[in-house]
Amino acid sequence: MLKVGLTGGIGAGKSEVSRLLVSYGAVLIDADKIAREVVEPGTPGLAAVVEAFGAEILTEQGTLDRPKLGSIVFADTDSLATLNAIVHPLVGARSAELESTAGPDDVVVHDVPLLTENGLAPLYDVVVVVDASPETQLDRLVRLRGMAEAEARARMAAQATPAQRRAIADLVIDNDGPLEALEPQVRKVWEELVRRAAAGDR
Query: Measured over all CA atoms, what is the biggest interatomic distance in the chain, rounded to whole angstroms?
Result: 53
pLDDT of residue 157: 85
pLDDT of residue 38: 96
Model confidence, pTM = 0.85
Contact partners, residue 59, CB within 8 Å, separation at least 6: 65
Can you tell me the distance from the alpha carbon of 103 to that of 140, in angstroms, rounded to the nearest whole number? 36
How is 83-131 classified by DSSP, letter by letter?
HHHHHHHHHHHHHHHHHTTS-TT-EEEEE-TTTTTTT-GGGSSEEEEEE
Q: Which long-range contacts (CB under 8 A, 24 or more apart) does 179-183 make?
A: 179/16, 182/13, 182/16, 182/17, 182/20, 183/20
Angle, helix 77-99 to helix 44-53, in steps of 10 degrees: 170
The pLDDT mean for the chain works out to 92
- Domain spans, the chain: 1-26+106-202, 34-104
pLDDT of residue 126: 97
- Identify the DSSP state of 38: T
Residue 191: other Cβ atoms inside 10 A: 11
pLDDT of residue 72: 86
User: What are phi and psi for residue 107, nearest 5 degrees?
Assistant: -100, 110
Can you tell me the distance from the alpha carbon of 50 to that of 59, in angstroms, rounded to the nearest whole number? 12
Work out the pLDDT band at 202, boundaries 50, 70, 90.
low
- Look up the CATH number of domain 34-104: 3.40.50.300
Sheet with 2-8, side-by-side order of all strands = 27-30, 107-111, 2-8, 126-131, 171-174
**Residue 190, pLDDT above cutoff 70:** yes
- Domain 1-26+106-202 and domain 34-104, same fold? Reply is yes
**Residue 201, pLDDT above cutoff 90:** no
pLDDT in tens, 50-100: 999 999 999 999 999 988 898 888 778 899 889 989 998 999 899 999 999
Under 8 Å between Cβ of 127 and 7: yes
**Residue 21, pLDDT above cutoff 70:** yes
**Residue 169, pLDDT above cutoff 70:** yes
- Look up the CATH number of domain 1-26+106-202: 3.40.50.300
pLDDT of residue 135: 93
Under 8 Å between Cβ of 107 and 26: yes
pLDDT in tens, 96-141: 999 999 998 899 999 998 899 889 999 999 999 999 999 999 999 9
Work out the pLDDT band at 156, boundaries 50, 70, 90.
confident
Under 8 Å between Cβ of 138 and 152: yes
